[in-house]
Amino acid sequence: MFGSIFTAGLIVPRVGPPLKPDAPARHITDEAAITPAHGEELRVEPLVGDGESVAQGQPLLRVRAMPDMYLTAPMAGRVAKIDLRPGHRLSQLVLFHDAGGDRYSFDVSLAGQDVDELRRVLQMSGLWRMLRSRPFGRVPKPGAIPAAIFVMATDSRPDAPDPLLRLWSREEEFSRGLDALSRLTDAKIFLCQAEATSYTGAPPAGVSRILTGRTHPNGLSGLMIHRHMPARVDASVWDIHAEDVADIGAFLENGYVPATRVVSISGDALREAKRVECQPGADLRGLCQPILRPGPHAVLSGSSLDGRPAHWLSLRDRQVTVLKRDTTSKNRHWFNEALDHASRRAPIIPTAALDLAFGGVLPAAALVRVLASGDVEGFTRLGGLSLLEEDLALADYATGARPRLMTQVRAILDRIEEEEGVA
């Protein structure tokens, strides 16, 4: 029945070689970039010029609309180029790595006592950008107050790196990060973790644990939020990855922005799949080049389900997927080709696969219908405001839907955002 604790999901067939269990090796690519998240519009003021040397963690760009919000250097190096589109919209800021570079130190001495100061240093250091606010999936505004914060210590996407592996050695930092989050707002904090491997550290008071299922999509923050604390336009819900919480903890301890994150590289165009520790915004080609199989391929930032073709590792992504690209041109009959162009796409048939793609907790067929018809009211009624593209990726995969549900959900969210005047 609806809302039960029974967690259902789908097992996605593996693409490519299995993930090696070795500890992730450090791999800093020669280039890295600061880019806006997908669909994000960032009007920025560059604080450095082309060719300047920068330290790791140094603020490089200031967000124009928000005085204290900065984007910081993912690694020490030299600024290669700053691409701005008209209206100071950031396209990318590319850096060349400098192995002997310095680390930028922030003054975090006051963040322990003062909440405003805590917010300010998080925004200065760029760590604030790891938070994601729903509905609409944007970086929260500087003064925003959430109804709840979900800390995701689990990730059920195929080949995703298990957050807990890294947390074992960082329990203290993680606890400090959780503590900082709980000081940040009065919001309830939920710590989501998978059943079998639980984080054993003692979370601070006011943090409730949620046990999630291990099968995809139960480890997605969207479903957890939908089930435990639905996001509304007037009550946004934030989510953040557990590793980023540990990063915040580490940052508040010593004032250095952590330099690496664990990223898994997998896919069928690779000779092996592995985890590495690389800088945020790493060059994806540089990351997967040593293990690439010859032949045409596509590099995605994200998992094989929700990944997007990209050059640089995207803001919150912890997965790189390299897939074979099919270049054989199909010799199709002209009539079928013409029919494909002229016809409306085949609808989705409500099967068990569709229900399980939403973990069995959502009325899937009804949701697909309101998405297809662009029914804003129905979408809101079904709790669609808690969802983002990644939450529909599995249904997209399972049903082979066209147009993709991910595109549809983004379109309807954008429309609601515009209507509500939140943007």
Partner 1 sequence: MRRGMWDREMVAALLLMASMPMVLTWLWFGGVEAIGRLALTLIISGLWHMVFMLARAQPPSLAGALSAIAVAMLAPEDLGLIRLALGISFGTVAAELVFGGWGRNVLNPATVTIAFLGFGFPAEPWPEFVAPVIWAALPALGIGAMFGILSMRVIFAAFVALGIAYYGGDPAISVILPTAVLVLALLVTDPVAGASTSLGRWLYGGAYGGFVVLFAYEWEGAAPVQMAVSAAFLASLFAPIFDEAALALWVRRRRKRHG
Question: Which residues of this chain interact with partner 1, rule CB under 8 A?
Answer: 1-3, 15, 229-230, 298, 300, 304-305, 307, 321, 323, 339, 342-344, 346-356, 363-366, 381-383, 397-401
Smallest separation, CB 394 to partner 1 (Å):
9
The answer to whether the CB of 69 falls within 8 A of the CB of 62 is yes
CA 10 to chain CA centroid, nearest Å: 21
- Provide CB contacts within 8 A for 223, sequence distance 6+: 217, 358, 359, 361, 362, 391
* Residue number, 74 or 307, with CB nearest to partner 1: 307
* Residue number, 141 or 325, with CB nearest to partner 1: 325
* Residue number, 14 or 78, with CB nearest to partner 1: 14
Look up residue 272 and give its DSSP letter: -
Separation CA 62–CA 278 (nearest Å)? 24
Report residue 132: phi and psi, to 5°. -130, 130
Smallest separation, CB 221 to partner 1 (Å):
16
Sign of the CA dihedral with 405 first, then 348, 268, and 294 last: negative
The residue count for the chain:
423
Smallest separation, CB 359 to partner 1 (Å):
13
* Residue number, 294 or 344, with CB nearest to partner 1: 344
Smallest separation, CB 365 to partner 1 (Å):
4
Smallest separation, CB 219 to partner 1 (Å):
19
DSSP string, 14-70: P-SSPBP-SPPEE---SEEEE-PPTT---BEEESS-TT-EE-BT-EEEEESSSTT-E
Smallest separation, CB 3 to partner 1 (Å):
7
* Residue number, 2 or 334, with CB nearest to partner 1: 2
* Residue number, 220 or 398, with CB nearest to partner 1: 398
**What residues does 301 pair with on adjacent strands?**
308, 320
